[in-house]
């Protein structure tokens, strides 16, 4: 049973890592849930203090991820149309069959939204759309740092399990 739970947790961690790149999939929360499941259903435990601290960090990073794209657009001079364009582009970009649609979508959405307000100043339009891209990259970096740390913690927590499981090979 422990092996099955560890496999489920590992899958959640991998989906969480994928979720850092795909905006619809909540990356850090899934990675965190993997550690909760591991702690709840196996003998391999994370400390309560660790779990509480990282629950707060995961919530903050999840909120910051949504906020950073909007902040990036606004910081670079975007209006409500550019912000809405970013959100629409984010949703459309997920379903576009190009490899980086989730990055191109918000940029193009912000570009279109900004263009509706700033038809005469194409430089400003590109600057506003760049704010969406910078916000996305900032959120991506935050999520990746959190997910990799949680993966590291998972590995360190179950390391003893793998050592005992493969002890016959190591001798």
Other beta carbons less than 10 A from residue 100's beta carbon: 11
Q: State pLDDT tens for residues 110-142.
A: 899 999 988 888 998 999 889 888 888 899 999
Alpha carbons 154 and 167: distance in angstroms, whole number: 20
Residue 9 has pLDDT above 80, yes or no: yes
Task: Check if the beta carbon of residue 73 is closer than 8 Å to that of residue 86.
Answer: yes
Mean pLDDT value across residues 28-56: 95
Helix ranges restricted to H, the chain: 2-19, 27-41, 48-75, 80-95, 101-117, 122-165, 167-170
Q: How much is the pTM? A: 0.81
Name the one residue in this structure whose structure tokens are 């999939």: 25
Alpha carbons 22 and 103: distance in angstroms, whole number: 9
């Amino acid at each position: 049973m422990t092996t099955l739970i560890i496999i489920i947790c590992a899958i959640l961690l991998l989906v969480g890592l994928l979720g850092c790149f795909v905006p619809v999939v909540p990356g850090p929360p899934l990675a965190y849930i993997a550690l909760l499941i591991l702690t709840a259903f196996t003998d391999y435990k994370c400390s309560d203090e660790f779990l509480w601290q990282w629950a707060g960090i995961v919530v903050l990073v999840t909120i910051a991820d949504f906020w950073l794209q909007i902040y990036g657009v606004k910081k670079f001079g975007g209006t409500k149309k550019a912000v809405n364009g970013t959100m629409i582009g984010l949703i459309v970009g997920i379903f576009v069959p190009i490899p980086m649609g989730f990055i191109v979508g918000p940029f193009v959405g912000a570009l279109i939204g900004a263009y509706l307000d700033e038809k005469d100043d194409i430089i400003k339009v590109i600057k506003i759309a760049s704010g969406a891209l910078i916000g996305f990259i900032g959120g991506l970096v935050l999520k990746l740092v959190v997910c990799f740390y949680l993966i590291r913690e998972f590995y360190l927590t179950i390391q003893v399990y793998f050592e005992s499981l493969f002890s016959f090979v190591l001798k």
